[in-house]
Amino acid sequence: MTNTSPFFDEMFAPDGTARDAYAQYHQWFGREDSRHLRRKSVEAEAFFRRVGITFNVYGQEEADERLIPFDIVPRVISAREWTRLEKGIEQRVRAINAFLHDIYHRQEILRAGRIPAEIIIGNEAFLPQMIGVTPPGGIFTHIIGVDLVRTGPDEFYVLEDNARTPSGVSYMLENRETMLQMFPELFTRLNVRPVSSYPQQLRRSLAASAPHDRGSSKPVIAVLTPGIHNSAYFEHAFLADQMGVELVESHDLTIRDGRVAMRTTQGFQPVDVIYRRVDDDYLDPLNFNPNSMLGVAGIMDVYRAGRITIANAPGTGIADDKALYSYMPDIVEFYTGEKAILKNVPTWRCSEADSLAYVLDHLPELVVKEVHGSGGYGMLVGPAASKRELKAFERKLRAKPHNYIAQPTLALSTVPILSKKGLAPRHVDLRPFVLCSPGKVEITPGGLTRVALKEGSLVVNSSQGGGTKDTWVLGE
């Protein structure tokens, strides 16, 4: 059976044969009974419900806590493909950390004219409170999620960088655990690189980034969560449990003797590292939003004094701002002296008159995103939009052009899902997770594959109906 899809199918070649990375999996799949596999899909859903792997949906009163759909057909990446991706990802995250240090210190990249100052100055993601601040160990982005899409055999693009508080790693880990339980025979047959050590690597990486003059041999780490109503609360609790550290909310923390301390049954204990899942604006009511109930009053003063590590550092959002995205190839070259290994998606900045004119003329062909948007909200997928939606978005663009960027509709690769009729191709992206500590960059082999479960859809976000897959990186 030939594959006539115009999109690159990661599992099947045009002649219908399985590609090398999928060859062994395809042989196994061909011997399995379809009814047995569908029962396994139901088992997976039951497992996710039992464990409580859910996310919250904002703005909807009913069914605000949902299960992320999980597809049991894995996404398989060859060792050769992963080696190239690793090099490109490491180059990019090193450049991001160098950029963040520069932009809050000498601003050499602005002096050199490689990016315009107005992209930084006045941008709500840029924090003047961080000017002159060097985090312990010099690391700004301790955890990064790099969103990748694929359009061909060797064509990968970075869709966006997540340098603030990237989420999804708990789903990557639970997806693997589920597959190990349901199909152990596959893991004895295929040389799939493990991901289960991520929580231990995260703890080691955070500990290595702790202040040196803390006075204790073993750094104390805590995960700061906004609370149970946050969409990623499951992940906050999961990671704290897996690392063996405390999960805290703002009312558990205070400032004592110039240190951040957490409430325990034995009294207050100084904390060295806070893995925060609270946005910048809510982190410290004395320095940012005075109405915040989610942060710790005075924590920024302790941070500026070098007596606490906050991961990720406040102000890192400027590095993943979509207005800055189109300059990333220049940023990579400026700080590494090398051309970017991973490509950017061509991008029109609607703040520029010529770009805005082009976008308005080609709106039905483009994807338009809010500069500060996330989760698939506030975006327009031109080819899938109605005439009414296009007209409404045109009015938004004309009113606030600086608030948007536009990109071409890429021919995203597909990976089959198990549908009622058998294997069916669906579009995917990939979020590998990167840990940075002084002198070290660790990239978990694989990451979170998100899949657009609706036929023809390009939107993979769970909040917009997408699902997830286990991602297998094969060993040499």
What domain count does the chain have?
2
pTM of the complete model: 0.92
Q: Are residues 334 and 259 in the same domain?
A: yes
Identify whether 12 is part of a domain.
Answer: no
pLDDT value of residue 66: 66
CB 317 within 8 A of CB 164: yes
- Reported as a single tens digit per residue, the pLDDT across 272-295 is 999 999 999 999 999 999 999 999
Whether residue 267 is found in the same domain as residue 365: no
Q: Quick one: 274 and 382 in the same domain? A: no
* 328 and 457 part of one domain: yes
| Claim to verify: residue 370 and residue 452 sit in the same structural domain | no
Integer Cα distance of 54 and 450 in angstroms? 15
Boundary residue ending a domain (378, 393, 408) = 408
The CATH code of the domain that includes 396 is 3.30.1490.270
| Residues spanned by the domain of 459 | 20-341+410-473
Q: Are residues 37 and 164 in the same domain?
A: yes
231 shares its domain with 373: no
Of the residues 392, 408, 424, the one at which a domain ends: 408
Q: What is the pLDDT of residue 149?
A: 96
Q: In this structure, are 335 and 457 located in the same domain?
A: yes
Q: For position 345, what pLDDT does the model report? A: 94
First to last CA, the chain: 30
Contact between 373 and 379 under an 8 Å Cβ cutoff? The reply is: yes
> CA 422, CA 72: separation in Å to the nearest integer?
12
Q: What is the pLDDT of residue 216?
A: 63
pLDDT for res 78: 97
Nearest to 153 by CA among 19, 29, 330, 253: 19
The pLDDT value recorded for residue 1 is 52
CA dihedral in degrees (185, 473, 239, 293; nearest 10)? -140
For each of the chain's 476 residues, which pLDDT tens digit applies?
567 678 999 999 999 999 999 999 999 999 999 999 999 999 988 888 777 665 554 444 444 556 788 999 999 999 999 999 999 999 999 999 999 999 999 999 999 999 999 889 878 899 999 999 999 999 999 999 999 999 999 999 999 999 998 999 999 999 999 999 999 999 989 999 999 999 999 999 999 999 987 666 799 999 999 999 888 898 999 999 999 999 999 999 999 999 999 999 888 999 999 999 999 999 999 999 999 999 999 999 999 999 999 999 999 999 988 889 999 999 999 999 999 999 999 999 998 999 999 999 999 999 999 887 655 567 888 888 899 999 999 999 999 998 899 999 888 999 999 998 889 999 999 999 999 999 999 999 999 999 998 888 877 876 667 899 999 999 98
Q: How many CB atoms lie within 10 A of CB 97?
A: 23
Which pLDDT belongs to residue 5?
A: 79
pLDDT at 374: 58
Q: What pLDDT does 331 receive?
A: 97
- CA distance linking residue 278 with residue 284, whole number of Å: 10
How far apart, in whole angstroms, are the C-alpha atoms of residue 24 and residue 4?
Answer: 23
- Residue 474: phi, psi to the nearest 5? -80, 145
Q: What is the DSSP string of 374-436?
A: -TTTT-EEGGG--HHHHHHHHHHHHH-GGGEEEEE-----EEEEEETTEEEEEEEEEE-EEEE
Say what the pLDDT of residue 56 is. 52
Distance CA 429, CA 229 (A): 27
Tokens of 218: 């073993």
The reply to whether omega before 312 is within 30° of 0 (cis) is: yes
Give me the pLDDT at residue 68, please: 82
Q: Are residues 307 and 195 in the same domain?
A: yes
